[in-house]
Amino acid sequence: MDKTALLQQIFGYSSFRPGQEELIDGVLGGRDVFGIMPTGGGKSMCYQIPGLILPGITLVISPLISLMRDQVMALKTAGVPAAFINSTLNAAQMQAVYRNLLAGQYKIVYVAPERLDYGGFGSIAEKLPISFIAVDEAHCISQWGQDFRPSYLRIVNFIENLPRRPVVGAFTATATKQVREDVERILKLQDPVRTVTGFDRPNLYFEVIRPERKEKELLRLLASRRNKSGIIYCATRKKVESVCETLRDHGYAATRYHAGLEEKERTENQEDFLYDRKTVMVATNAFGMGIDKSNVSYVIHYNMPKSIEAYYQEAGRAGRDGAEAECFLLYSSSDVTTAKFFINSDSENEEMDPKQREMVRQQDLARLDAMVGYCKTDTCLRGYILEYFGQKHPEVCGNCGTCMGDFETVDITKEAQMILSCVRRIYDKLGYYVGVATVARVLQGSKEKKLLALGLHELSTYGLLNTMGRTEIRAMAERLEGEGYLVTEEEHKTLRLTPEAAQVLFQGKKVTMLVRKEEIQAVNAPAAGKLAGTDGELYDALRELRAELAQESHIPAYMVFSNATLTDMARKKPATMSEFKRVSGVGEIKAAWYGQQFLERIKAFREENELA
Ligand code: ADP
Ligand code: ZN
């Protein structure tokens, strides 16, 4: 099967994301690859798909135990034979995995780096037909990176001891030049296909808040996000404890995670969060490495983290399924003091010599400066982050605290259609174009004599926007002009349609606009990206069904389908199995497992609501 067919049938996605195809083609063509992609960019597809196509076995080296378990579970759910090897397996389980490995029963096997030369894996590996080794989180091999792991240095040796060198791929979300060079050099990548995918995550909203009292601010933020799943990062264990307690006192289903807890409790709490038994996770930065929970709707930093890298990685755990999500940072100047304290007393670097350690300390302080800069900037927040990663960006993103200020994006498609069609009908009636003022008056249903004399009150668009002020209609017309659907003719200042207007009028193309929050009620349209009316109700019904199914088969809800998939399903309302498979995120296997139940629920919903 070719890569696109696999993407559709196994994973249920209709097209590749930027960078994925080049990397997959590189591997399939026998080239080493080096993929740099932001968190949530879709790195795993770049080794899973080649893993399915290539003969023999693909080894994925990853330091993240929970990610391994998650991905193996997800692969099995999608019908792919996969396994992991790490310290969570007992001796008997390990033997079973080895046996199956030698019997050729797996296509994709995840291995922790410290297992590569441990417990006989090395000698087993020699006998395996390994086609491809994917090194995930490849920046861990660099001392310049923020998560250097000495065990990563063993990978090189492991590869060199294999009877035949497989294709090697490295994947990371860390983009700095120094780290990139280290990865290529130390891993000895051979003329790799390199791709650096844009770091932008357009579905994430960024905001920095400087509250007088953080606790109060946090409660305010959470009040309107009660049913959503989110993570709250705190700088210290003590803070995690107190914030978690406060939230529980206020009736939130909150749990906690930090390195001071017993392993058993950490695991339990993490699972409570993954399986949606608890909606809020309060944690130190010890939480989240490798957590692939795709339906996290917000990440709130109660304290400022120590670098933009760390911040973007943690905040990036929101909205991994592509659905709209929010990232708030609650800043106070005491956060800087705490962060400096951590940098100056870092004990993790004990295996380094004093000179090295001092160098790392200086780098950390420089990273901290950049982080503080983010909290203080009055420019676009997304722009600030992208700039840091060396990526070009527009000056205004339209989806961050700075760019939106007191603004919010609203969907004005319906109003846009009315305006455009009004322009059209006036022209049809009069044989000439008129200015924006007349168009606005017609839409408002004005009783002006001149208008009545021209017979414009007979138009079907007359009075359609009679709840709106003239300035609002003008503002929308300006927006339409900005988007190229209308032009003002120079000489007589008349408003004309462009050919592009047809996209909005007849093809349902969406138009959005930034509107001041206090004006939103007037425009009275649902915010962009969210589901309105019956679609929203159906979405809730589908979510319920998802929760039931997840509970039945003891897997987290997002593994049944992601939020983005449910959103698409609620919009498309499939009636047949083949329509169902066209929903984004629905592959063959999942369609077979869950299709019937979802189709029935949608059908019931249609009947209850008397939808055609
Ligand atoms: P990361 O780069 O952080 O490892 P993942 O591989 O976990 O990202 O992918 C993040 C999310 O994006 C997952 O839910 C994955 O299923 C989804 N995804 C990956 N590739 C595509 C694609 N081509 N189309 C739609 N969704 C995709
Ligand atoms: Zn912005």
Higher pLDDT, 377 or 265: 265
Indicate which atom in ligand 1 lies nearest the CA of residue 294: 14
| C-alpha to C-alpha distances, 191 to 32, 48, 306, nearest whole angstrom | 7, 22, 34
Q: Is 79 exposed, middle or buried (CB count within 10 Å of its CB: 0-12, 13-18, 19+)? A: middle
44 CB less than 6 Å from ligand 1? yes
Q: Are residues 485 and 574 in the same domain?
A: no
Among residues 148, 142, 147, 149, the alpha carbon closest in space to that of 186 is found at 142
The candidate with the shortest Cα–Cα distance to 359, out of 54, 509, 144, is: 144
Final residue of a domain: which of 137, 169, 196?
Answer: 196
pLDDT band at 15 (very low <50, low <70, confident <90, very high): confident
Q: What residues form DSSP beta bridges with 258?
A: none
Residue range 87-99: mean pLDDT, rounded: 91
pLDDT band at 290 (very low <50, low <70, confident <90, very high): low
Atom 24 of ligand 1: nearest residue by CA position? 13
Answer yes or no: do 353 and 277 share one domain.
Answer: yes
416 and 402 in a common domain: no
Q: How confident is residue 529, by pLDDT bands cut at 50, 70 and 90?
A: very low
Q: Summarize pLDDT for 480-510 with one digit per residue, the tens.
A: 987 889 988 877 889 999 999 999 999 889 9
Residue 580 has pLDDT above 60, yes or no: yes
Instruction: Give the domain-ending residue among 406, 433, 448.
Output: 406
Nearest CA to ligand 1 atom 25: 13
What value does the mean pLDDT take over residues 585-595?
Answer: 88
How far apart are the C-alpha atoms of 53 and 1, rounded to whole Å? 7
Counting Cα atoms < 13 Å in the Cβ hemisphere of 281 gives 34
CA-to-CA distance for 270 and 251, rounded, in angstroms? 19
State the ligand closest to the CA atom of 75. Answer: 1
Q: What is the whole-number distance in angstroms between the Cα of residue 371 and the centre of ligand 1?
A: 27
> Exposed, middle or buried: residue 262 (CB in 10 Å: 0-12, 13-18, 19+)?
exposed
User: How confident is the model over 211-236, as a mean pLDDT?
Assistant: 93
Q: Which residues contact 130 (CB under 8 A, 6 or more apart)?
A: 56, 57, 58, 59, 162, 166
- Indicate the SS3 state at residue 380: coil
Angle ∠(70,71,73) on CA atoms, nearest 5: 65
- pLDDT score for 302: 98
319 and 256 within one domain: yes
Is residue 525 scored above 50 in pLDDT? Answer: no
Claim to verify: residue 61 and residue 181 sit in the same structural domain: yes
Question: What CATH number did the domain enclosing 237 receive?
Answer: 3.40.50.300
Instruction: Find out whether 511 and 416 touch, Cβ atoms under 8 Å.
Output: yes
Whether 20 and 136 share a structural domain:
yes
**427: domain CATH number?**
1.10.10.10
How far, in Å, CA of 584 to CA of 569, rounded? 8
Q: Give distance in angstroms: CA of 243 to centre of ligand 1.
A: 31
- Residues 142 and 115 placed together within one structural domain of the fold: yes
Q: Is residue 40 lining ligand 1, measured as CB closer than 6 Å?
A: yes
Whether residues 181 and 217 share a domain: the answer is no
In a domain, 524, yes or no: no
Confidence at residue 519, expressed as pLDDT on a 0 to 100 scale? 44
- Tokens 């920095």, residue located: 208
Residue 220 Cα to ligand 2 middle (Å): 23
The predicted-structure confidence for 20-70, as pLDDT tens digits, reads as follows: 999 999 999 999 999 998 877 889 999 999 999 999 999 999 988 878 888
Q: Which atom of ligand 1 is nearest to the CA of 39?
A: 3
Q: Is residue 523 part of a domain?
A: no
Domain annotation covers residue 41: yes
DSSP string computed for 326-355: EEEEE--THHHHHHHHHHHT--GGGGS-HH
Query: What pLDDT does 348 receive?
Result: 57
Phi-psi region of 94 (alpha: psi -120 to 50; beta: other; left: phi over 0): alpha
Q: What is the mean pLDDT of residues 359-365?
A: 82
| Those residues with Cβ within 8 angstroms of residue 334's Cβ, 6 or more apart along the chain or in another chain | none
**pLDDT reading at 527 higher than 90:** no
CA of 292 to the centre of ligand 1 (A): 10
pLDDT band at 352 (very low <50, low <70, confident <90, very high): low
Residue 88 vs residue 390, higher pLDDT: 88
Say if CB 297 and CB 562 are below 8 A apart: no
Average confidence (pLDDT) over 470-475: 81
In a domain, 526, yes or no: no
Q: What residues pair up with 231 in beta bridges, in sequence order?
A: 281, 299
- 480 inside domain: yes
**CATH number for position 557:** 1.10.150.80
- What is the per-residue pLDDT across 169-178, written as a single tens digit (0 to 9) for each? 999 987 677 8
317 and 287 both lie in a single domain: yes
Tell how far the Cα of 329 is from the centroid of ligand 2, in angstroms: 15
Is 522 a member of any domain?
no
* Residue 525 belongs to some domain of the structure: no
Is residue 355 located within the same domain as residue 389? yes
Looking at all shown ligands, the one closest to residue 384's CA atom is: 2
Q: Atom 12, ligand 1: which residue's CA is nearest? A: 42
What are the CA-CA distances from residue 221 to residues 64, 237, 294, 403, 443 (Å)? Answer: 31, 22, 21, 19, 38
Q: Share the mean pLDDT of the chain.
A: 88
Q: Which residues pair with 326 in a beta bridge?
A: 205, 298
- CB neighbour class for 114 (10 Å; exposed up to 12, middle 13-18, buried from 19): middle
Could you tell me which residue, 529 or 377, shows the higher pLDDT? Answer: 377
Q: How far is the centre of ligand 2, averaged over its atoms, from the C-alpha of 63 (Å)?
A: 34
What is the rounded average pLDDT of the residues 311-316?
Answer: 92
Give the whole-angstrom CA distance, residue 90 versus residue 113. Answer: 17
- Cα–Cα distance between 199 and 565 in angstroms, integer? 23
For 141-192, the pLDDT digits (tens) are 987 766 788 889 999 999 999 999 999 999 998 767 788 899 999 999 999 9
Claim to verify: residue 77 and residue 142 sit in the same structural domain: yes
CA 577/CA 160 separation, integer angstroms: 49
Residues 420 and 401 in one domain: no
pLDDT in tens, 391-441: 778 878 889 988 877 666 778 899 999 999 999 999 999 999 999 999 999
Q: Which of 376-390, 401-415, 514-528 shows the lowest mean pLDDT across its residues? A: 514-528
Ligand nearest to the CA of 42: 1
pLDDT on residue 13: 85
Tell me if 39 CB under 6 Å of ligand 1. yes
Please state the domain count of the chain. 4
Greatest Cα pair distance, the chain, in angstroms, is 93
* Among candidate residues 505, 341, 298, the one with its CA nearest the CA of residue 420: 505
Q: Give the closest ligand to the alpha carbon of residue 404.
A: 2
First to last CA, the chain: 38
Q: Residue 79 falls within a domain, yes or no? A: yes
CA of 571 relative to ligand 1 center, distance in Å: 21
The CB of 43 under 6 Å from ligand 1? The reply is yes
Q: Answer whether 174 contacts ligand 1 (Cβ < 6 A).
A: no
Q: Ligand 1 pocket test: which of 20, 195, 204, 292 has the largest number of ligand atoms within 8 Å of its C-beta? A: 292
Average pLDDT over residues 225-229: 91
Are the C-beta atoms of residues 561 and 590 closer than 8 Å to each other? yes
The pLDDT of 454-466, averaged and rounded, is: 92
Q: Would you say the CB of residue 558 lies under 6 angstroms from ligand 1?
A: no
Task: Answer yes or no: are the C-beta atoms of 424 and 483 closer than 8 Å.
Answer: no
Answer for the pair 463, 453: CB distance below 8 angstroms, yes or no.
no
Which of 291-305, 335-349, 350-364: highest mean pLDDT?
291-305
Per-residue confidence (pLDDT) for residue 168, from 0 to 100: 98
Question: What pLDDT was estimated at residue 532?
Answer: 67
Domain with 281, as residue range(s), is 204-406
Ligand 1 pocket, residue 568 CB under 6 Å? no
- Among residues 49, 22, 53, 48, the alpha carbon closest in space to that of 35 is found at 22
CA dist., res. 24 & res. 20, Å (int) = 6
- The residue from 517, 546, 579 where one domain ends is 517
Helix axes 308-315, 354-376, angle to 10 degrees: 60
pLDDT at 520: 42
Q: Which of 26-30, 199-203, 379-383 has the highest mean pLDDT?
A: 26-30
